Amino acid sequence: MIEIKNLSKYFSESKVQSLDDVSIDIPDRSIVGLIGTNGAGKSTLLRIAAGIYRQDSGSVLVDGETVYENNSVKANISYISDDQFYQPGMTLKRLASTYSSLRERFSVKKFYQLAERFGLKTDVRMSGFSKGMRRQSDIAAALSCGAKYLLCDETFDGLDPLTREKAKRIFIEEIMDNDATILMSSHNLREMEDICDRIVLIHKGKLVISADVDGLRGSVNKYQVLFDGDSSGVSLESLNPFRLTSSGRMMTFIADGDPSEVEKMLKVIAASESCGLSYVEAVPLTLEEVFTYKLESSGLMDDNEKEAE
């Protein structure tokens, strides 16, 4: 298990607070998606978890041990950077040889099997590879290290839809066959929601939400409410409504919580305001809409970001 507690990191050169008191747990045998816009702090978090950066405060524990300058723990971690560097003239054969010399549990056999599944030629210089082919090479190498934990930065960037689905199947196989645990980042929720057990959203270095995917679905709804009389004087403050609009007898808003409980509260409100409740409809938000709502309601978005939404 990876335990991240009150993690903070400040880069004095750029005067950027990359992470600010972030706490999340990564359960064993799970795929956790780390979502956020560019500059949210995703790469910094992964590099600290991999033991590349040292945090300013807080802790990262992998199976109860600290990571930084701990080679025995790092042996159980494979990290895929979003910008891998390869020496001139590098081929997949040479890459396998390099990994074999650095990682004791690296399986050349598995590496070649994965390269074949991706359709990669092992004797061709990687300088001629496309971005997607390089990303496939990174995945094959990381999965061949025999590591329990895989930390993947922008994992599916550059992959075409068919290859992306193939990579997802390979990651799932790794969990089932080798009890792996995967933390992968992306700025695109749609490409993550069908593979992840849990989603973590960070923005400007702060944790916005960390929740199971199944629990998020249906947890936030858009309500259309019709009262018997004019709704302009009706207060829904107790429901903490978001994006509330009112027109005559109709109100629309977004709210957290179980729809049946929200409807009960609406009936109580209508009775207290001496106006009947004619109709209530709850429409579940998509995961992308849920995250947009959570982000906007967190107060972390500035006006320019809200306009972009």
Residue 281 CB neighbours (<10 A)? 13
Strands of 95-205, DSSP E: 149-152, 181-186, 198-203
pLDDT at 248: 85
Distances (CA, A) of 56 to 12, 22, 62: 11, 12, 18
Question: Which pLDDT band, with edges at 50, 70 and 90, does 305 fall under?
Answer: low
Strands of the chain, DSSP E: 2-11, 16-26, 31-35, 57-62, 65-66, 77-80, 149-152, 181-186, 198-203, 206-212, 220-227, 242-247, 250-256, 277-284
Q: Which CATH number fits domain 2-215: 3.40.50.300, 3.40.47.10, 3.40.190.10, 3.40.630.10?
A: 3.40.50.300
Question: Which pLDDT band, with edges at 50, 70 and 90, does 302 fall under?
Answer: low
- Can you give the residue ranges of every domain in the chain? 2-215, 219-284
pLDDT at 270: 87
Whole-number Å distance between alpha carbons of 304 and 309: 9
Question: Which pLDDT band, with edges at 50, 70 and 90, does 276 fall under?
Answer: confident
3-state SS assignment for residue 35: strand
Is pLDDT at 233 greater than 90 in this prediction? no
3-state SS assignment for residue 251: strand
* Direct distance between the N- and C-terminal alpha carbons of the chain, in angstroms, rounded to an integer: 35
Write out pLDDT tens, residues 33-61: 999 888 899 999 999 999 999 999 999 99
Sheet containing strand 2-11, edge to edge, reads 16-26, 2-11, 57-62, 65-66
Is pLDDT at 296 greater than 60 in this prediction? yes
Whole-number Å distance between alpha carbons of 76 and 78: 7
Classified by CATH at the fold level, domain 219-284 comes out as Alpha-Beta Plaits (3.30.70)
State pTM to two decimals. 0.86
Cβ proximity of 280 and 223 under 8 Å: yes
Write out pLDDT tens, residues 84-104: 788 889 999 999 999 999 999
Q: What is the mean pLDDT of residues 185-207?
A: 90
Is pLDDT at 168 greater than 60 in this prediction? yes
Cβ proximity of 223 and 254 under 8 Å: yes
